[in-house]
Chains A and B, each alone.
Chain A
Amino acid sequence: MNAHAKPAPLGGPLLNAVTFTAGVLIAVMAVIVLVRFFYGLGAVTHLNDGYPWGIWIAVDVVIGSAFACGGFSVAMLVYIFNRSEYHPLVRPALLASLFGYTLAGVAVIVDLGRWWNVWNMFNPWTVNPSSVMFEVAVCISAYIIVMWIEFAPTFFEKFGMTEAKRRLSKIMFLIVALGTLLPMMHQSSLGTLLVVAGEQIHPLWQTPLLPALYLTTAITMGYAVVLFESCLASAAYRRAIETPLLTPLAKVMLGMLIAYLVVRVGDLLWRGAWPRAFAPSLEAIFFWLEMAAFVAPFFLIGSETQRRNPARLFLAGVALMLAGSLLRLNGFLIGYQTVIGAETAGVNYHYFPSLTELLVTVGMFAVEVLGYVIITRRFPVLPREAAHA
């Protein structure tokens, strides 16, 4: 791994159009979150009995944490499958994951009705170890801590704490192992959350295989995010693109995607849920959107020549991020009916995120962008650019 260029801070101004916009969006979010904590969820969201989970859960937490799988997907590739050539991608991917997960954790607190009870989750006397939600919550909290430790060498390098870095590197293998295990546990458990919801989930998304589907898509989305993030960073910072690394990574991603699609389609056929995809319903429309997004990468980067084109890699990354997001949005929001038989009882529940809900979600992503810009500019994350040849 020493053959690779060492990471170095990018330098450059911290205040520019991007960081300023992000700052404004974060300030707006802060005000809304403050209102939410003083006046309750009802004051700022459109949540109701039929839709107790809105976009703060479906997008900020479930999709947000799936976007944050880049770190663990690449780390798994590098450390578990010993493909050290991908090492330069680890730190930037880990950084994106760090923010993604930390914010997902924060977003959960914002969405919890009685957030002041959250400490019970960490109190061994009050936990319910049979709960899927508990597993997800504990794994995510543990993973956030593990990830900060995993990322700590970046800070140690910045502040010249070589001794601390040396000591940490001795146990790093353990941290990395945990950093792979924990996200695999809770990403699959996010699927289990829907399995236990039973018939409340639309048949197109309700299957005992959900944990496997959520896990495989989380990993593929992790690679998609790396493609996306590398292209975005190179374009934004006007750096050479790491195409030689991204091209084979995209191939790994496609391989995983094939495995996913085989299981997904096979499951739909085996369970006989297939006809529901042709029923005229919102669910069916969103199902086909989801499937289209999952298949799109094959058309975009199906051949080796296509995989060498960063534009196509970027679009394929975006398509797959969208696909994974749709799978989660469909399961957690669109195909989720909490009150069975509400329609026959004459109650029609509606949900569409309120402006304030949207602004909070946007603000959460703005925190990620701002954090990424500040850290890459001031801390050694991205590999040092070779002197202009």
Chain B
Amino acid sequence: MQDEGVLTCLVQGEEQEIERRFGISRREFLKFCAGLAGTLGLPAGAEAAVAQAIESAKRPSVIWLHFQECTGCSESLLRAEHPTLEKLILDVISLDYHETLMAAAGHQAEKSRKDAMAANKGKYLLVVEGAIPTKEQGIYCKIGGHTALELLKECAADAAAVIAIGSCASWGGMPSTVPSIPGWDTSPTGAAGVSEVLGKTVVTIPGCPPNPYNFLATAVHFLTFGTLPATDKLGRPLFAYGRLIHENCERRAHFDAGRFAMAFGDEGHRKGYCLYKLGCKGPETYANCPTLGFGDVGESNWPVGCGHPCIGCTEKGVGFAKPIHAMAKMLNVAPPLQYPRITEDVGKGVSFASAAALAAIAGAAAGGAAMLARNLGLSHQAAELEKAKEGKAKTQAEA
């Protein structure tokens, strides 16, 4: 039914245009749009708006900056197993500057960035991948003679919106890790996130690497509605980072039942038990990893799914900060009280107080009963004696 709804907004000619442009069937295209709308948590029917926005020729200009990073975020977008994902990405947006993907080099590359910025002033989307070194005026990362600090500030000034992709751009990520050397309180390069450098909150898609769909859905939201999706106070879109991994984890039932893998390869680990005791950070990490398959190869393709504890890569202060096998802090979801405890109480033996109390009660009862029996016996004896006397007196009187 929904397909038909979308169908009405796609005229015959446009259908062929989509097949030509994206190299996929209309059905595949609509499935993609519906998937994105679903990822965003949009109501039924929204895929029509998404489809309409995507199939319009007006693609937003995107400038993609790379700083201190490994390009894993770009790689995860491009190397997704889904055969058409990268094609869609590149056709949904007009990627005018991307150091890894662009054909231009040197001054030519710099020129294309300047041109795109001038042509789409105030309308282009700035995506930042990688942390920005801030120590020594940012000399640790330079492109075309400009430091990362200068480049970011220059490009952000006229951008319609800024998206920080990956943990590095979100808060500094792995490059911001403070060495465990006494006296150090920052990373060697002073690596910082985009919002820290710009002094304002930007949309962040943390993850190492983040799920490509989370980025794509954010970009498409911008494309469809002209705004960025609602975010939490760290700038993470709520549609993807609104819930703890622990809340939707496929191994959650094991946690609630107290079944844990205690070591890699042990019985519990092989049976797929909860990885909490191996240091899984799911209970303190906000992300949609358990609900949105990574890389389109099935639902087990995420750390917890393949048996490794979550390292908390989307959470500042957890990922790259806490030791991987350190136990996570339970943020807000503890198992209900009526569920079995992890270690059941086997009970206490006799305590001195209770044994003494029981002995005192038994003693008092026995003593009381004995005294009562004695008194009853004495009065009975007296009564019998009395009776005997009376009997004797009677017989004597009769005699």
Residue numbers of A with Cβ under 8 A of B are 42, 46-51, 231-232, 235, 241, 308-312, 314-315, 318, 347-355, 357-359, 362
Interface size on B, residues (CB 8 A): 23
Q: Nearest B residue to A356 by beta-carbon distance?
A: B354
- Given known contacts A231-B372, A355-B354, A355-B357, is B349 in contact with A350 (CB within 8 Å)? yes
| Interchain residue pairs with CB less than 8 A apart (20) | A46-B347, A48-B345, A50-B347, A51-B347, A241-B376, A311-B375, A315-B373, A347-B346, A349-B346, A350-B348, A351-B347, A352-B350, A352-B354, A352-B355, A354-B351, A354-B354, A355-B353, A357-B354, A358-B357, A358-B358
Since A235-B372, A347-B346 are in contact, a sample of 18 more A-B pairs with Cβ atoms closer than 8 Å, ordered by chain A residue number, is A42-B345, A46-B347, A50-B346, A309-B376, A309-B380, A310-B380, A311-B374, A311-B375, A311-B376, A314-B369, A347-B344, A348-B346, A352-B350, A352-B355, A355-B353, A355-B357, A358-B354, A359-B357
Chain B interface SS verdict (over half): helix
Q: Would you give the shortest CB distance from B341 to chain A, in whole angstroms?
A: 9
Flag B366-394 by CB within 8 Å of A: 1 or 0 each.
00010011111101100000000000000
B101 contacts chain A at the CB level, 8 A cutoff: no
A348 to B358 Cα, complex, angstroms: 23
Across the interface, do A48 and B373 meet the contact criterion of CB distance under 8 Å?
no
A231 to B347 Cα, complex, angstroms: 40
A235 to B374 Cα, complex, angstroms: 11
Q: Nearest B residue to A113 by beta-carbon distance?
A: B338
A308 to B353 Cα, complex, angstroms: 42
A-side contacts of B354, CB under 8 Å? 352-355, 357-358
A-side contacts of B90, CB under 8 Å? none
B361 contacts chain A at the CB level, 8 A cutoff: yes
Q: Say which residue of B347, B350, B357 sits within 8 Å of A48 (CB atoms).
A: B347
Across the interface, do B376 and A231 meet the contact criterion of CB distance under 8 Å?
yes
Q: Would you give the shortest CB distance from B191 to chain A, in whole angstroms?
A: 49
Across the interface, do B348 and A310 meet the contact criterion of CB distance under 8 Å?
no
Q: Say which residue of B345, B350, B355, B376 sits within 8 Å of A310 (CB atoms).
A: B376
A349 to B379 Cα, complex, angstroms: 50
Q: Say which residue of B344, B350, B369, B380 sits within 8 Å of A318 (CB atoms).
A: B369
Q: Would you give the shortest CB distance from B351 to chain A, in whole angstroms?
A: 7
A-side contacts of B375, CB under 8 Å? 235, 311
Across the interface, do B357 and A352 meet the contact criterion of CB distance under 8 Å?
no
Q: Would you give the shortest CB distance from A274 to chain B, in whole angstroms?
A: 29
Q: Nearest B residue to A234 by beta-carbon distance?
A: B376
Q: Would you give the shortest CB distance from A5 to chain B, in whole angstroms?
A: 20
Across the interface, do B373 and A352 meet the contact criterion of CB distance under 8 Å?
no
A235 to B361 Cα, complex, angstroms: 21
Q: Would you give the shortest CB distance from A370 to chain B, in whole angstroms?
A: 16
Q: Would you give the shortest CB distance from A324 to chain B, in whole angstroms?
A: 15
Across the interface, do B345 and A355 meet the contact criterion of CB distance under 8 Å?
no
Q: Nearest A residue to B358 by beta-carbon distance?
A: A358
- Given known contacts A309-B377, A352-B355, is B361 in contact with A362 (CB within 8 Å)? yes
Across the interface, do A49 and B344 meet the contact criterion of CB distance under 8 Å?
yes
Q: Nearest A residue to B379 by beta-carbon distance?
A: A310
Q: Nearest B residue to A359 by beta-carbon distance?
A: B357
A201 to B396 Cα, complex, angstroms: 66
A318 to B376 Cα, complex, angstroms: 14
Q: Would you give the shortest CB distance from B60 to chain A, in whole angstroms?
A: 57
Q: Nearest B residue to A49 by beta-carbon distance?
A: B344
Choose among A354, A355, A359, A362 the residue with the greatest number of B CB atoms under 10 Å from its CB.
A355
A231 to B369 Cα, complex, angstroms: 10
B-side contacts of A349, CB under 8 Å? 346-347
Q: Nearest B residue to A350 by beta-carbon distance?
A: B347
Q: Nearest B residue to A51 by beta-carbon distance?
A: B347
Across the interface, do B348 and A46 meet the contact criterion of CB distance under 8 Å?
yes
A198 to B345 Cα, complex, angstroms: 24
Q: Top 6 A-B pairs ranked by shortest CB distance?
A: A311-B377, A311-B376, A350-B347, A48-B347, A355-B353, A310-B376
Q: Would you give the shortest CB distance from A249 to chain B, in whole angstroms?
A: 16
A-side contacts of B377, CB under 8 Å? 309-312
A-side contacts of B357, CB under 8 Å? 355, 358-359
Across the interface, do B346 and A48 meet the contact criterion of CB distance under 8 Å?
yes
Q: Would you give the shortest CB distance from A337 to chain B, in whole angstroms?
A: 12
A195 to B284 Cα, complex, angstroms: 48
Q: Would you give the shortest CB distance from B135 to chain A, in whole angstroms?
A: 54
Across the interface, do B373 and A314 meet the contact criterion of CB distance under 8 Å?
yes
A-side contacts of B348, CB under 8 Å? 46, 350, 352, 354
